[in-house]
Amino acid sequence: MEIIFEKLEGKSLAYRMAMLVFAAFAVGGLISTWIVIEKGICVTGMTNRVPWGLQIVMAIYYIGLSAGSLVISGLYGVFGKQEYKPFARIAVWIAMLFLIAGMLSILTDQGRMDRVFVEPFVHFNLQSMFSINPILYSGHIFICVVYLWALFTERKRFTTIIATIAFGWAFCVHSGTGAIFGFGARVLYESPLLPVSFVTAAMASGTALMILLIVGLFKITKRYLDDRLILWLGQFLAVCILVVVYFLFIENAYRAYVVELRPAAMYYLFEGLHSILFWVGLILIGCVIPMFILFRKKTGQTIKWIVFASSLVVFGVICERYVIVLPGLTHPQEILTGMHITQSAIQEGVANYTISLAEIAQALGVFGVIGFLFLWGMKFFKLMPTEAVIYDQIGMIKRNEYQKRREAKSIKSSE
Amino acid sequence: MNIKNIIQCRIGFFAALLAIIIIIYPLGYSLTDYAIANDRAEAQPFLERTAPEITDCVEDTIYMRYHHWELLGKIREEIVRYGKRGDVSLDTCKKCHTSRVKFCNKCHDAISMTPDCFGCHYYP
Amino acid sequence: MDRRDFMKMTGGTILAVSSGTYAFQFLVASGRSVSGDNIAAGTVRWGMVIDLNKCIEGCTACLDACRTENNVAFHGDNRWDVHWIRKVKAEQKIGTESKEKSILLLCNHCDKPPCAQVCPVQATYKRNDGIVIVDHHRCIGCRYCMIACPYNARYFNMKDSEHWQNEERPKRSHGVAEACTLCAHRLDTGRQPACVEACNNTGAGVLFVGNLNDSDSEVSQLIADRPTKRLREELGTEPKVHYIGL
């Protein structure tokens, strides 16, 4: 059966309102970025002790979403699951946009944004993770463009090839992003496991986002969506979360077990705001509740519950990114071994970081830009399938029933 | 065919046109600004000879006019990155060209290009 | 031109431009190293010795000298202040009693600098005379070096500084990272760093800067004769600031 893709009309009130809201976010982000350029980083919550903040958290979150949603398109492209073909184009489009979002977050975080487009490309430092990653990122965007082109032109063989490359590349991209932290010097960063756990968290968040997006889009545009597609994605999401929990456990168990790292582990798990985010935001909301919902027979087979669980995971992974970046920075470095600093001109001991309005505006601004581009693309390119059906007996029966109901409804309303 | 249809048919063309206009706008602006300036003498850099014993610049006028940023960049590279502090530096310029407003800014204002130097380097 | 042609052309152009750029970068990068290569290697290797036993309680001569010499930004807020050299009071427990002493902390000019390794634009690099320095003309302000430094010795210009105490020397605009340069401009012209000069003027004589490769230099003699310690030697960064009486 041929799957027909079409453009969104983009004339409904909901579409226009969403565009307007996203544009407003983008303008807010632009204004706050301008203030940061004019006045310096001091308008954000970052200090000399905590040099990275919300923008980096959001950057790695967006990059994770990108890699994760590419996995969904890989279901069709790499593993040949024909029934997931309707989502392939949207998934690649979203993957490309979220990587651009990550780039925008990193860009607006730099002290000298005017030099970002010149210096890293002229003076290259292969020893730096920050220099290797731009290759991966720009390659990822480029591969996404080619992948989209292959999907648009319906080249089957080429799609398989480029999808496989994209799939592997997405793993590299996310491992590289994890390596920025994992290969770092800070006690709470240093871990060879971090790149791997980054990938799993990315897959969980990407799948969750795709579930939200697909269900939402099909619902709003009143298209037929076979429930079983989402149910399978829900089970996949549950497995992803399980792996995330496993890696989190191993990582923290290691830190708590090794005597040298135990104080840092105690700090990470039980002190300050980030520990609340860790236990409540990540473990409870991000992992335990969604897993309970998804693995339970009754709720795991209901679309509404799966959507609810997905939104929890999308939130939980932001917390996961936060507890990766910030605790490692606020945790004091032991400069003088065996001594306790009592008086100093800078913040010693545990540093504090409060998210400022400027950073929130910037983060929302990036989100606005991407949302705007996404909706614009839906109108401009043929991304949206007319329906998503599994072409077997049950699927056809279900679809026909749905169509009959639609027709009956439209007759009723016309009368 | 009314104007709305024309715009709809040629949307790509108009987008490209807009992009080109945005890209070349700064150049065109400064060029026209420079061309229509009534008093072209305004754009001539002013030289204050407070050190009459120095008659020559480190390079000839034409080179300095069109390549001074290359020279400054080269000196900067040698001093900052390799620690070779020779006779020539930004301080050497100050000896003859005593005022930034009367010297550097003359041309730089005319072509609407603000150099990045003076946020950090003191030049009276 | 239909959309297919347009996509083909766009794709082709992007492919050509990006692959060309990367090929060029790899060629350029392979020819360069992180450290500068114009000063003859092995002749000079600057290092510092700090004799904490002689350091006077409450004296801030070196800190003030550094601030005025290098226009180091001061805003009166401990979130944004920049300190190329700073003095902390630290408590050490020996047996049951605790001893308090003042310690000077500054950039250690490591032989294997983690900050230079992670800098994506080679703005932070090690000169061949061993000084780790930031090229502020190149720094993009990514703050990765501040993450990598295990000594909290690197600072960021969060805000433009209003003061310009020493007009001979540049200050830094906001948005770039910076750290102690060991007064490289003074060492290049044969003078001692500002902090050393100020310290010697007070008569304390705490700070010594000299050539570690020269076995007759004052610093080499001090390191040979007195028990010295470096900060966090176990990290393997090979710092070149040696402490006496830490």
pLDDT at B1: 56
Cα distance from B20 to chain C (closest Cα, Å)? Answer: 16
Q: pLDDT by residue (tens digit) across A222-251?
A: 888 888 889 999 999 999 999 999 999 999
CB contact under 8 A, C38 and B82: yes
| Contact status of C86 with chain A (Cβ, < 8 Å) | yes
| Contact status of B87 with chain C (Cβ, < 8 Å) | no
CB contact under 8 A, B84 and C36: no
Detail the DSSP E strand segments found in A257-396.
339-343, 384-385, 387-388
Tokens read off for A30: 């632009």
Q: pLDDT by residue (tens digit) across A190-212?
A: 888 999 998 999 999 999 999 99
pLDDT at C94: 82
Tokens read off for C9: 């052309």
CB contact under 8 A, C120 and A131: yes
Nearest-by-Cβ selection for B81 from C36, C173, C185: C36
Q: For residues C38 and B84, is the Cβ–Cβ distance under 8 A?
A: yes
Residue A318 has pLDDT above 70, yes or no: yes
What mean pLDDT comes out for the span C192-212?
A: 92
Q: pLDDT by residue (tens digit) across B18-33?
A: 989 888 887 777 677 6
Cα distance from B94 to chain C (closest Cα, Å)? Answer: 11
CB contact under 8 A, B85 and C137: no
CB contact under 8 A, A339 and C14: no
CB contact under 8 A, C6 and B12: yes
Ordered by start, the domain boundaries in chain B are 1-36, 41-124
Cα distance from C147 to chain A (closest Cα, Å)? Answer: 7
Residue B55 has pLDDT above 80, yes or no: no
CB contact under 8 A, B80 and C133: yes
Compute φ and ψ for C96, nearest 5 degrees: -95, -25
C contact residues 45-64, partner B, Cβ 8 Å cutoff = none
Nearest-by-Cβ selection for C188 from B76, B85, B120: B85
Residue B58 has pLDDT above 90, yes or no: no
CB contact under 8 A, C86 and A345: yes
pLDDT at C39: 45
Nearest-by-Cβ selection for C39 from B82, B91, B119: B82
The ipTM, to two decimals, is 0.88
How far is the C-alpha of C152 from the C-alpha of C139, rounded, in Å? 18
Q: pLDDT by residue (tens digit) across A7-45?
A: 888 788 889 999 999 999 999 999 999 999 999 888 998
pLDDT confidence band for B40 (50 / 70 / 90): low
Classify burial at A293, counting beta carbons within 10 Å of its beta carbon; exposed 0-12, middle 13-18, buried 19 or more: buried
pLDDT confidence band for B50 (50 / 70 / 90): low
Which residue is closest to C35 within chain B, CA to CA? Answer: B81
Tokens read off for B98: 């005593």
CB contact under 8 A, C78 and A42: no
The CATH-assigned architecture of domain A45-332 is: Up-down Bundle (1.20)
CB contact under 8 A, C15 and A335: no
Q: pLDDT by residue (tens digit) across B90-109?
A: 888 888 888 888 788 877 87
Choice among A172-186, A369-383, C9-23 with the minimum mean pLDDT: C9-23
pLDDT at C63: 92
Ordered by start, the domain boundaries in chain A are 45-332
Compute φ and ψ for C125, nearest 5 degrees: -155, 165
Chain A and chain C share a number of CB contacts under 8 A equal to: 194
| Contact status of B82 with chain C (Cβ, < 8 Å) | yes
Q: For residues A325 and A230, is the Cβ–Cβ distance under 8 A?
A: no
Choice among A315-329, A401-415, C3-17, C134-148 with the minimum mean pLDDT: C3-17
C contact residues 44-83, partner A, Cβ 8 Å cutoff = 78-83
What mean pLDDT comes out for the span A274-292?
A: 93
Tokens read off for A219: 């619902």
What mean pLDDT comes out for the span A85-89?
A: 89
Residue B4 has pLDDT above 80, yes or no: no
| Contact status of C39 with chain B (Cβ, < 8 Å) | yes
| DSSP state at residue A229 | H
Detail the DSSP E strand segments found in A327-407.
339-343, 384-385, 387-388
From chain C, pick out residues whose CB is under 8 angstroms from the CB of A119. Answer: 121, 123, 138, 140
